[in-house]
Structure 1
Amino acid sequence: MKYLVLFLFLSTGASAQQNLTIQVNEGTELMSVIQFLGGQLPTQLSPYKEDVKRYFVGHRNDPAVLMVFNFRFQVYYDLVECGLAFDNFPDIRAHHIPDSSFWVKYIGRDTLDRYLRLCMQFYKDTHFHDFFVAHKPMYDQWARGLRDSIAGPLRIFDSLINTRHDHHWLVCPDPMNGWGAHTIVAKRVNPAYQQYFIYQVGYQGDTDEKGRMVFGADIYDWAWHEGTHAFTDSILEQYKTAIDSLAYLMPTSPALGQQNVDTWQHYFNELLPRAVSAALHRQFRSDAAYRKVIRNETRNGFIHVTAVSDAIYDNFVHTRRVTTFEALLPYIFAALRSYKPAPAG
């Protein structure tokens, strides 16, 4: 069966390549720069960061920067995803962010719309498009390097997990993001992207032998982890009642608290990608790599990761007992209901 899985993976290679776009998004990059200037975005040291500081130093007191600096609520780093509402560059315009968006509910419609208008004014006043175009060769170099490393993991994901094949992958390197990878539920920001799996990958300080910025980290883990978030978001909404019925299994631990995982829904939504990644590591990576994923995720408080990854591996990856993720979910629910904690020590 493992050879059949490998055949399926290899035979989908061309279509997976055609289904992948890697580019720095001008809108999210605009908002990243503004959040950085407003002290609301952690970044890594890099030549690009120095370019940003030099070009925009005279705009630290622009209205958009001051507004994000003075927000009277916690500014989450992924607020920059609202930049997907912008398009038509350099004649920038903003699409209406749906009322269902987390950001509308969290920030408020009037405040969010005002902030986006100020971001567009910042774009015009700073001639942001000139800065963006000047750095296009750098952006293209990052995209080429990331494509070389991510195409393989995405081919595996599309051959086994993404059974719909009706979405396009859009991966956005985010050079001002020093905190990690992030899946964007695009339809909640701009419905024009509803057929896309989108995630941003931050810069973690890696360089190549020539000292050029490289977007890397654990490509396999975050491609499979973030890919699962993107693929399963709409599926899990349909199974909310069944998922909620297992809320009694919610563990408590300092590790989960540090990740702000304090509800069963959040826990399950984070457990599933970790379990998928573990199952795919078990099939396609080394035993040591698989055990490292299990060990790290268990230490991070996701105590059900072994049981759920076993169900995925046994029924959907190593052996194809079911052919859709929807059909796999009852096996996952059964594994959770049968979960027995490992003996202490």
Structure 2
Amino acid sequence: MLSAITISKETIEFRDSPEPILQPGHALVRVHNVTLCGTDLHIWEDDYPTELPLIQGHEFSGVVEALAPGDITEQGISIGHRVAVNPIIYCGECRPCLTGRYNVCQNVGCLGCYSDGALSELISIPLDKLCAVPDELPLDIAAMGEPASIAMQAVNRGRPEPGETALVLGSGPIGLLATLYLTELGVHVICADTEQHRLDLAVEFGATDTLLVTPGSEFPGTHQASRLNSLTGCYGPQLVIEATGVPSSLENAIRLVASAGRIVQVGISPRQATVSMKDIPYKELDIMGSRMSLNLIPDGLALLTRHPGQAQTLMTHRFDLKDLQQAYRLMQGRTEKIGKILIQMPAASSA
């Protein structure tokens, strides 16, 4: 089978790899679609805590090609069914796992990030990680079930209530999907980003107001602060979702959130933030991290199914597997307006 292997920094090699052997309790999935995210770019740039060479790809969908005799899944998934996949690998024995928080397992892994993933024609997947794709959801869009689940995990961590106002910092794919979900929950959403075209998308995803951030300038500016006060009754948003990973953005979240408010940090960065040691206790803030999701991919697929227009809008670029290097160059260069990039595997091209 054909596999795309990141062998070293910014270097991909296409190899004819052995097909996986079918094991009891696993399914062989013919991969049709893989979407890329910032983590994939960092791995390709060899700027991520994982070892190369590696077959990348953790956001994907495909079709079940084989099951071991007698194997069945709780969802009734069988040969020929369309699936998305939960890529999280966890031990089941550490304290987080035993308390139901396996997404932050002390030994957590992820297909395509720490072990070989989906940029290969066939992959072996444990049955309990298969997620049935709704009949009305296109299989290419289903590859975004994983990022949708990340956005939903972040929102759920924030305990939103209908009628509240939330500020979403960053209108990339996670911020947009969080906006979509918050809007469904009856939350008024304000989105902030440095790119106007992303804020225009945020309105399509349900934002009631937007704030354009000018890099290097004070945020919010005088006019923006007045708008925020008007929209929040001068109290500030009750919930802030930080989806950029930029240190100053977390600092802004702490400064802008209402007293007794909640902040969810879902953007990831190795950089250091300078936070106020006064605002956190004075406001009695809840500051929470959010990583991957607690098996929310079926919920993410359902979210995408309910909003087909937004889902299609989010998928801005498509490449065949042979052009994977070009896709990473596009992400790296930031010369175009990019939402999600889809890699079409050979099975999708021939379907």
TM-score, normalization by structure 1: 0.26
TM-score, normalization by structure 2: 0.26
Higher helix share: 1
Higher strand share: 2
